[in-house]
Structure formats: C-alpha cells, structure tokens
Chain A
Amino acid sequence: MAQDAIDDWFMQEVLPLEPMLTRFLQRNWRNEAEISDLRQEAYARIYEAARREKPGLIKPFLFQVARNLMIDRLRKQSVVSLETMADFDWLNVSDDKPSSEAHVAARQELRLLQEALDGLPPRCRQVVLLRKIEGLSQKEVAAQMGITTETVENQVAKGMRLLAQALGGRRGAVATQSRRYNFLRRSRDAG
C-alpha cells in the first residue's frame, strides 16, 4: 500500500475502533498506567503489518494483535498470577460486524464531539471553538483572544490530546492508575 493510503486507512478504519480496543485492554490488563503504551504499540504493529499487506478484516486482526502483545508482555514479567490469566477475555470479540462505534451516525458523532469539547478547560475550549467552528487561523485566534501565538499553539496541542482521550474512551485514567498499579506491584512482591 502507498504511504498516504495506509495513513488514511489507519485514520478511517482503525482509529474508530479505539473505544472498543481501550475497553478490551482495560478488561484484560490490570495496570491502567500501561494501557496507553499497549494501545500505541498495538497500533504500531498494525501499521507496520499494513505496510507489508493490507489486512482483510480489521477488527479480528486488531484484537489478535492486542492479544499477542499482552501475552508477550506477560511472558516478560517475572510473575504471572493465575488470576491475571483467568481474567483474559479473549473470545469476546471475534466477529467483524459493523460496530456501532465504527459507524456512528453523523448526529451522534456531533454529539460525541460536543461532549468531548465540553470537557476541555475553558481557554483550550475557546481556542478549539475559534479554530474549528469559526475557521480562524492560529494567528487570528491569538489576536482574537489577546494571547500569544505560542500559547495558541500549546492550547491546540493540548486540545487535540484531550479530544483524542475523550473520544478514545479512556475514562478516569489518572484516578484509577495508582490503584491498579499497586495491585500489580503487590502480586509481583508476593512472588
């Protein structure tokens, strides 16, 4: 596949599955702090595979990759508790029916976006509003809000990360992180 075609394929076909992938990882991986690492690595593997050959069915392939990735990681860890293994939810997602998440109706999409937008801090939200709704350039946004162009650039960077997080369904990552991490550490120490 040509580079641009892979990029488009990745953004249009793979990324919409992110909420599902995130939930899958969260169900099967105790350490919440590592979820975003796992997800990024799964994406990288899929992207590299697509460079060689475009996968047929995306969803089973994505979950297969995520599964293998978790197994690899578990093997590297010195202790694998039985409980961890038993928790794996392997067989839950094998069909490739169009999921509701991959094919969100336009109106629902707008609602999702608006909710994500609402979760942004006020200044960041204002920057995104002016940039995306009014179509102002970053320079114009800076002038309009009486802030520097550097600040606008930083807010844009922050905005896209927060939007991606909200749309990717990674809920309460910061809050749940320490609890899950402690659990893993305890099971390691016990071994």
Chain B
Amino acid sequence: MPAEEIEKLAAAWLAREDRGLTAEETAALDLWLESSSLHKVAYLRLKGTWRRADRLAALKRPAARETDESHLFGRGLFAIAATLLVLLAGGWFWWHMPKAQSYATAVGQKQELRLADGTRLELNTNTRVHATVTASRRIVTLDAGEAYFDVVHDANRPFVVYAGNRRITDLGTKFSVFRNGDDVRVTVREGRVKVEILGQGSAAVPVVADGGHEVVTKGNETLILAKPDTEIANDLSWRNGILVFRDQPLAEAAEQFNRYNARQIVVEGNARRIRIGGSFRADNVDVFVLLLHRGFGLSVNDQGDRITVSR
C-alpha cells in the first residue's frame, strides 16, 4: 500500500482517537498498529504532529493580565460557588454537553439577543453567529456579517469572538465586529478589546484597542484608527437601522445599502466617484435613489431587483 493510503488510515484513526475511542475501537486500532511497522510509524508521525500542535495554545494569552487583579479573588469564589451549585444540581451532564446556539438574520433583518452570561448581541443584516457559553468559556464565531457586543465582563471566562482567523478578546467592552470574508473591522465603543490574527507566524502581534478606536484588518495588515465619538456613533448607527455617510464615494454608499436590501443598487461610470453625505434609513432604497436623482441629476433605472444609477 502506498505511504499516502496508510497515512490516510492513520489520520482517520487519530481523528477518532481525538474524539474518544470505544473499547472495541481501541482493540481494532491496536490490531491495525500491530499488523505492520509501516502503520505504526505513519500513526506515530501524525500523533507527534498533533501533539506538537498543542503548543499553539501558547497563542491564547491570558486576558486576566490586563484586568484589575483585585476583582479576581471575589470572582473566583463566586465561580467556585456557582460551579458547586451546578454540580450539586446534577448538572454534570449539562457541563459536558456542548452548548452552542446558532443565530442568523436574513438580508434587511436585525436581531437582538441575550446570551446565558447576560451578554447582549445585536445582529445586523445578513449575519450568522454561533455562541458557546459554558461555565468555563464564552466563544462566539462570526461566520459572516456584523454584530454588536455588549459584554458582561468576567476575567475568569474571557469573551472571545472569532471572525475567520481573527481572534477578538473582550477586556470589558462594547464593540462591534464586521466581517466580509477575511476583511474584519472591529469598532470599539467602550472599554478595550484585543485583536489577533492567528496563523501569521511572528507577525502575530496582538493589537489592543481602547474605546473610540477602530481596528481594520485586511490580509496580514492590521490598522488601528482613533475615531471621534461621532464617527464611532455613525459606524454603529446600523443598530438603529440608519446608515450615515460622511463624504463617501457613492459606490461605497451603494455597497452599504446593498448589504440590507435584496434590491441591489448598481452605480455605473464616473457616478461611482461622486461623494455624498447624510443619514438614511437602511431599508429605504427608494428614498435614497430619489435623492440621487433630484440632488445630483443622476438617471435612475429601476428594474425591480436591480436599480442602475448613472450620470
């Protein structure tokens, strides 16, 4: 058998071992390993690699360092008491069960929700998140879209948001994360967050951003911008269903509208570069294009699900 085929079998065994083997499976694995040294070394090679990957845990730096130490003791006691209660309540099973919840919004929808730890989430249009809140960890993965977090801080249980390989750790905060593929923007309203790009070798220096800052990551680049409160408020205006533009190219503004509506605005030619400002209801495309027509004399061709705007 070629090395690759053996390697595939070894990987399948190790993946099963990684989730936990039954007694029967263990016996079958032993048999497979004993039947050939080729099996054995392929298995050990992958096992060694998988163990080596444990060192990646070093990337998970404790968030507690950046927080007020005096609260830790009280919180620790509380955590112990809470844990005991849970265990006494026969919560062993609960403890071991994954608790992930999935939430999603359609285009143009918004949703507000509260997680088990009291943290409040607001999901913007076309967004999908999964949240796991257990006694020991709080993790949210943002598959797509934008979400605002008002986190109940807990130093013993850091609140982590994954947007692709961007890891955002709450250090006591209200913040918003927007993800478009690998481009991720984190807007911090209050408190601070830590943003890391994982898997970038030595370049992976975490960025800590305070309230009034925005962290923009694109590819391997991370940019941190100070923003006046008014601009932060504009960036978060989607929470009220409002889009605010300040001297932005029309093409960008149209892109924003298109996130919220099935009817897509297409801006053609040099009209794309016209700069506009103002605040608009995200769901009211008609008013927006009417203003473009009246204010800039642009021609608007409404074809139902597609509205073409040009000079």
Residues in chain A within 8 A of chain B (CB atoms): 7, 10-12, 15, 18, 36-37, 39-41, 43-48, 106-107, 109-111, 113-115, 117-118, 120, 122, 125-126, 128-140, 142-146, 149, 152-154, 156-158, 160-161, 163-164, 167
Interface contact A160-B37, CB-CB below 8 Å: no
Judge whether B8 is part of the interface by a CB distance below 8 angstroms.
yes
Question: What are 29 A-B contacts defined by CB distance under 8 Å?
Answer: A10-B41, A11-B44, A11-B47, A12-B48, A15-B49, A36-B2, A43-B41, A47-B37, A109-B55, A113-B53, A117-B56, A118-B165, A118-B201, A122-B164, A125-B199, A128-B53, A129-B56, A131-B18, A133-B57, A139-B98, A144-B132, A144-B141, A146-B143, A153-B18, A156-B14, A157-B8, A158-B11, A160-B53, A164-B45
**Known contacts A140-B132, A143-B132, A146-B102: A117-B198 contact under CB 8 Å:** yes
Size category, B interface: 35 or more
Smallest distance from the beta carbon of B154 to chain A beta carbons, Å? 16
Interface contact A134-B60, CB-CB below 8 Å: yes
Smallest distance from the beta carbon of B156 to chain A beta carbons, Å? 15
Q: How far is the CA of A76 from the CA of B199 in the complex (A)?
A: 44
Smallest distance from the beta carbon of B270 to chain A beta carbons, Å? 37
Interface contact A43-B99, CB-CB below 8 Å: no
Residues of A within 8 A of B42 (CB): 40, 43
Smallest distance from the beta carbon of B30 to chain A beta carbons, Å? 11
The 8 Å CB contact of B130, one of A37, A146, A164, is A146
The residue of chain B having its C-beta at the shortest distance from the C-beta of A42 within the complex is: B41
Q: How far is the CA of A18 from the CA of B42 in the complex (A)?
A: 13
| Per-residue contact bits, chain B 18-51, to A (CB 8 Å; 1 contact, 0 not) | 1100000000000000001110111011111111
Interface contact B4-A160, CB-CB below 8 Å: no
Residues of B within 8 A of A156 (CB): 14-15, 18-19
Residues of A within 8 A of B52 (CB): 109, 113, 163, 167
Q: How far is the CA of A114 from the CA of B16 in the complex (A)?
A: 24
Judge whether B6 is part of the interface by a CB distance below 8 angstroms.
yes
**Known contacts A125-B165, A144-B98, A163-B49: A157-B19 contact under CB 8 Å:** no
Residues of B within 8 A of A118 (CB): 165, 199-201
Judge whether B160 is part of the interface by a CB distance below 8 angstroms.
yes
Q: How far is the CA of A158 from the CA of B15 in the complex (A)?
A: 9
Judge whether B106 is part of the interface by a CB distance below 8 angstroms.
no
**Known contacts A110-B58, A137-B19: A145-B141 contact under CB 8 Å:** yes
Judge whether B12 is part of the interface by a CB distance below 8 angstroms.
yes
Q: How far is the CA of A49 from the CA of B37 in the complex (A)?
A: 11
Q: How far is the CA of A45 from the CA of B36 in the complex (A)?
A: 11
Residues of A within 8 A of B59 (CB): 110, 114, 133
Residues of A within 8 A of B38 (CB): 40-41, 44
Q: How far is the CA of A191 from the CA of B234 in the complex (A)?
A: 76
Interface contact A110-B55, CB-CB below 8 Å: yes
Interface contact A126-B141, CB-CB below 8 Å: yes
The 8 Å CB contact of B45, one of A43, A122, A128, is A43
Judge whether B202 is part of the interface by a CB distance below 8 angstroms.
yes
Interface contact B12-A167, CB-CB below 8 Å: no
Q: How far is the CA of A149 from the CA of B160 in the complex (A)?
A: 22
Interface contact A143-B99, CB-CB below 8 Å: yes
Q: How far is the CA of A111 from the CA of B6 in the complex (A)?
A: 29
The 8 Å CB contact of B19, one of A12, A39, A139, A158, is A139
Smallest distance from the beta carbon of B280 to chain A beta carbons, Å? 33
Q: How far is the CA of A48 from the CA of B19 in the complex (A)?
A: 29
Q: How far is the CA of A115 from the CA of B204 in the complex (A)?
A: 11
Interface contact A7-B44, CB-CB below 8 Å: yes
The residue of chain A having its C-beta at the shortest distance from the C-beta of B36 within the complex is: A44
Q: How far is the CA of A145 from the CA of B130 in the complex (A)?
A: 7
Q: How far is the CA of A174 from the CA of B160 in the complex (A)?
A: 37
The residue of chain B having its C-beta at the shortest distance from the C-beta of A18 within the complex is: B45
Judge whether B7 is part of the interface by a CB distance below 8 angstroms.
yes
